[in-house]
Homo-oligomer: A and B are copies of this chain.
């Protein structure tokens, strides 16, 4: 951790939230705030604002490097049940970075064209180019989550997908993509309250879909599907992080920290001038 991070964290969420062997989703307390030194939202707002500056500069370095041949990029995968706060992460964490450095894509139910291809086809088309932070709001993991809960594919095919995902992500990593996979975890009661708020507020009705309650009724099935996905696809090259998300401020701060960590790991530098600085100064001065 850098000095700035140490100011707000007593232990690094990168290690605290990482899904390792023996991980049990059911043991995560959705209301907890692992590693956060501050005690309230006010500390968190300060930490988020400071982190935004750090993240922003790192991203600019990544982008700058890509103009001079560095092909590396970062991919943030966001998964969660409805109302867990993916949208807030996009808005408050991703949104603090220069829009030109972001490639965001929200995956919906697959179209007919997409269903005609293997499940990774549509994902490959949305990967970030060099120098960008790609953000997947939902992802290929839906194909082992809702697809499993709703039996959208034969069992053998579902089983094979975990391995296909691991291979796919290894390949991305080999090509220079740093992958950060985040699952936002909330509790069932909290989801109920958040859905109710959408029903209470006319400016939130557009976010509500009666299908959300149908999915909610399969809560335990989803927890099981997530548990399986997490344990089978959290690898050293593409680890999962489960982020407690009942406190929205904590989830945002933790995801910001994960992104900062991923970018710091690239040891980015400003690209050296590809021209003679003194000569250019003289040329410019003469105009």
Q: Which residues of A contact B (CB under 8 A)?
A: 64-65, 67-68, 87, 90-91, 94-95, 97-100, 102, 104, 106, 135, 137, 192, 195-196, 199, 202-203, 205-210, 213, 216-217, 270-273, 275, 277, 280-281, 283-285, 287
Contact = CB atoms under 8 A, between A and B. Distances in A.
Contacts of A277: 199, 205
A282 to B, nearest CB: 10
A102 to B, nearest CB: 6
A87 B98 CA distance: 9
Contact of A94 (B67, B99, B206, B209): B99
A100 B270 contact: no
Count this chain's copies in the assembly. 2
Contacts of A271: 205-206
20 contacts: A67-B206, A90-B100, A91-B99, A94-B99, A95-B97, A99-B104, A100-B106, A195-B284, A196-B285, A199-B284, A202-B272, A205-B270, A205-B271, A205-B272, A205-B277, A208-B273, A208-B275, A210-B275, A210-B280, A213-B287
| Complex A-B, nearest 3 residue pairs according to Cβ-Cβ distance, in ascending order | A64-B206, A205-B273, A91-B98
Contacts of A203: 270
Contacts of A196: 281, 284-285
A95 to B, nearest CB: 5
Contacts of A199: 277, 280-281, 284
A104 B100 contact: yes
Given A205-B270, A206-B64, A213 B284 contact: yes
Contacts of A209: 275
A176 to B, nearest CB: 19
A207 B68 CA distance: 11
A206 B270 contact: yes
A271 B203 CA distance: 8
B104 A87 contact: no
Contacts of A273: 202, 205, 208
Given A94-B99, A213-B284, 20 more contacts: A64-B206, A87-B100, A90-B98, A95-B95, A95-B97, A99-B99, A99-B102, A99-B135, A192-B284, A196-B281, A196-B285, A199-B277, A199-B280, A199-B284, A209-B275, A210-B275, A210-B283, A213-B287, A216-B287, A217-B287
